[in-house]
Amino acid sequence: MPFAFDYEMGQVYQVHKPWHWWVILYVFGLSVLSEGLAYLSFGLVAGWGEVAPSWLPFIGGKRIPPMAAIVPATLGAFGLIALWNPYPLALLHIGGVPLVEYSNGWWKALSAVAALPLSLWGPLLLAITFAYYKRRQGEAVTQSVSA
């Protein structure tokens, strides 16, 4: 959030980029979007990931087709892996992955502590997606046998 208000948190740039008012909307929008997507991940382990809550218009109370959750979750997990997993390599100066410079080691440490957990989001989302697939796979077999 500090970046929305032009506070660079110890990052050192060769050329200072001018601040624009729309950056506030952009950063807050990204924050709301990422929180919403993270909340949807709970649907893979909660009951509302199998049956839509009754208060939702049109789909409330109906069973959610497994692939309607599995495909977007898998694509999202791979997208998160591609986005965040180069960060640990950059911190360790491995593979030529660029990392912004910091004014001192404390800012770099704070950045690592704050951002490294994000590199786990993709693999963990992939793990719970696989667990959801296995749980719903047995359900599909049971439904086809009884039908």
What is the rounded distance in angstroms from the CA atom of residue 64 to the CA atom of residue 54? 12
Could you give the percent of the chain with pLDDT greater than 70?
89
- Of the pLDDT bands very low, low, confident and very high (cuts 50, 70, 90), residue 133 is very high
Question: Residue 3 burial by CB count (10 A; 0-12/13-18/19+): exposed, middle or buried?
Answer: middle
* Under 8 Å between Cβ of 12 and 102: yes
Among 139, 12, 141, which Cα is nearest to 69's?
A: 139
pLDDT in tens, 52-66: 889 989 988 999 999
Q: Residue 130's domain spans which residues?
A: 2-146
The answer, yes or no, to whether residue 90 has pLDDT greater than 60, is yes
Residue 26 in tokens:
């952009």
The answer, yes or no, to whether residue 105 has pLDDT greater than 80, is yes
CA 27-33-36 angle, to 5 degrees, is 140
pTM above 0.85, yes or no: no
How many domains is the chain partitioned into structurally? Answer: 1
